[in-house]
Amino acid sequence: MNTLSLLDYGVFLLYFLVVALYGYWVYQKKKASTIDSKDFFLAEGSLTWWAIGASLIASNISAEHFIGMSGSGFALGLAISTYEWMGAATLIIVAVIFIPLYLKNKIYTMPQFLSVRYDERVSSIMAVFWLLVYIFVNLTSIIYLGAIAINAISGIRFEICVAGLIVFSLLVTLGGMKVIAYTDVIQVIVLLAGGLLTTYLALTLLSEKSGMGSNLFTGFSLLQEKAASHFHMIFDKSHPYYKDLPGLSVLVGGMWINNLNYWGCNQYIVQRALGADLKTARQGILFAAFLKLLIPVISVIPGIAMYVLHQQGLFHQEMQNELGILKPDHAYPTLMNLLPSGLKGIAFAALTAAIVASLAGKANSISTIFSLDIFKKYFNPQASEEKLVRIGRWAVIVSMIVAGLVAPALRTLDQAYQFIQEYVGFISPGVLAIFLMGFFWKKTTSSAALAGTLLTIPISAILKFLPSWTNGAFPDYPFLDRMSITFVLIIAAMIGISLLKPQKHPSSKLLEIDTSMFRVSRGFAFGSLIILGLLATLYIYFW
């Protein structure tokens, strides 16, 4: 039943008040000191490792996971978990290599890195790219998925859901990064608790409907038995969803490009660690990597359970849209509607926590890039700290409103999670290429980086649409493979341009590097080995 009881609303109101009051307390506590732009955008020096780790996960996990990834779990199975599990391995690389380079060179935004290593042309073009992607792909899809989920669970009109999410997110975002990060700790606790509760319901319901009683472990055994095809991590070419997850490319190909770009070159994510010292940043990132291993349990497993229940003849009407077409993204809301009063309120709060935390993090990154890399650089170089913070807040408000207006246009999507991954992947290969070349090859020139910046979208678009333009004469590669091809072509182009036209004064555009900064503590090394061991076990068992 897609309504909330008074008890559910009471539980949600309690969650809302806790987050709002705690956020206000954090804001008032910090307000005693003079706020500057670094404090507002980065919470410089004031975040603990657990706040950084929780904020990374809260910002990463959103409706696209609860709704989109669960929908992909319904359609594809456990293999969609590779985004999460490979993300855990990627976080270790980011902590060891990327973060030390940023902190050593006092990098606060990704466009700033491009400006320091290359030039203003590269920096400005990528700043615009990032703003467009953050607003029209990420922010828009989060609002859309969140609104349809809340509508499906509560019966509240879609438009009101959009407006409510925007207002709630603005309350958190306008307080700055410190408020976002510390309220994210509450958000993570709520979303994990609510997510685990929904997974428990899914597995016990499956056990019950199979006449085995309400047993969690029996439910999981039945899941593996009745949906054996959904428990393979690596697809072969005969698999109907091979194009979504093309075999070994998830281990040695495009998945690395996707993850390294997302976790290492993404303002939205990296920003949480840029205001901390190296030790604290690494501890927070490692904590996030451990939490990342849990995400498929709360997002993918419920989708697979709904697949089995649907195959058994249940929830046919609930899993269809108004045209009678099966919609995998309806799996999670349908499951949440089965929760009893009170518990449904907890799950509803968990979903809202994931959406709001992600919206707040994304909006803060938009305001950071716009304020520091566009407004200050091109409109008002002498802008005061107070002015930058005020402009940042207006950037948050405007971007949220624009995304809210665009969100309804996504109603035609089937699997929203795959849509997000594919179209963000249009710029990922170029971004990663110019970052890695800037890190590791001193001869990389600004002209080469500019070429890489400008080539990434055209090459990605040609590879995607050429098969249809040529009526199938050109191979229709899976999008992860297209990312690999684009990445290799851009690297080759950058090497060629750098060798043909060397930089006149290359030393002025090099990063400061001290090899000692790549050394890690024994504790970090031990934690990393545990994560990598768990990943190896999971992939071997579910191959």
Q: Over the chain, what is the mean pLDDT?
A: 82
**pLDDT attached to residue 527:** 93
pLDDT band of residue 320 (cuts 50, 70, 90) is low
303 lies in some domain = yes
pLDDT band of residue 36 (cuts 50, 70, 90) is low
**pLDDT attached to residue 192:** 82
pLDDT above 90 for 90: yes
pLDDT above 70 for 129: yes
Task: Report the percentage of the chain scoring pLDDT > 90.
Answer: 14
pLDDT above 70 for 10: yes
282 lies in some domain = yes
Q: For helices 428-440 and 446-469, give the axis angle rounded to 10 degrees.
A: 150
Distance in angstroms (rounded) separating the CA atoms of residues 201 and 195: 10
Which string of b and e fits 286-324 if b means at least 16 CB within 10 Å?
Answer: bbbbbbbbebbebbbbbbbbbbbbbeeebbeebbeeeee
Residue 39 half-sphere exposure, CB side, CA atoms within 13 Å?
15
257 lies in some domain = yes
In terms of pLDDT, which residue wins out, 234 or 41? 234
Which region holds residue 155: left if phi is over 0, alpha if psi is between -120 and 50, else beta?
left
Range in 7-11, 334-338, 457-461 the model is least confident about? 334-338
What mean pLDDT comes out for the span 423-450? 87
Distance in angstroms (rounded) separating the CA atoms of residues 536 and 303: 24
For 267, the domain range is 46-424+513-541
222 lies in some domain = yes
Range in 29-43, 48-62, 436-450 the model is least confident about? 29-43
* Spacing of C-alpha 138 from chain mean position: 8
478 lies in some domain = no
Look up the pTM and report it: 0.84
209 lies in some domain = yes
**pLDDT attached to residue 420:** 67
3-state secondary structure at position 497: helix
493 lies in some domain = no
* Spacing of C-alpha 267 from chain mean position: 11
Task: Report the percentage of the chain scoring pLDDT > 70.
Answer: 90
What mean pLDDT comes out for the span 58-75? 77
From the list 128, 126, 131, 94, the residue with the least C-alpha distance to 113 is 126
Distance in angstroms (rounded) separating the CA atoms of residues 61 and 287: 15
The CATH number assigned to the domain holding 127 equals 1.20.1730.10
pLDDT digit string, tens, across residues 345-380: 887 887 787 788 778 878 888 888 888 888 888 888
Q: How many domains does the chain divide into? A: 1
pLDDT above 80 for 149: no
Which of 75-89, 204-218, 486-500 is the most confident on average? Answer: 486-500
CA dist list (Å): 258 to 292, 333, 432, 453, 491: 16, 28, 9, 16, 16
Q: Are 184 and 55 in contact (CB under 8 A)?
A: yes
**pLDDT attached to residue 2:** 64
19 lies in some domain = no
**pLDDT attached to residue 413:** 59
What mean pLDDT comes out for the span 455-462? 89
What mean pLDDT comes out for the span 300-310? 86
Distance in angstroms (rounded) separating the CA atoms of residues 348 and 346: 5
**pLDDT attached to residue 532:** 94
What mean pLDDT comes out for the span 68-92? 87
**pLDDT attached to residue 326:** 66
pLDDT digit string, tens, across residues 153-208: 778 888 888 888 888 888 777 776 677 777 777 778 877 887 888 888 888 888 88
Owner of token pair 């170089």: 381
Q: Tokens in use for 74?
A: 């319904």
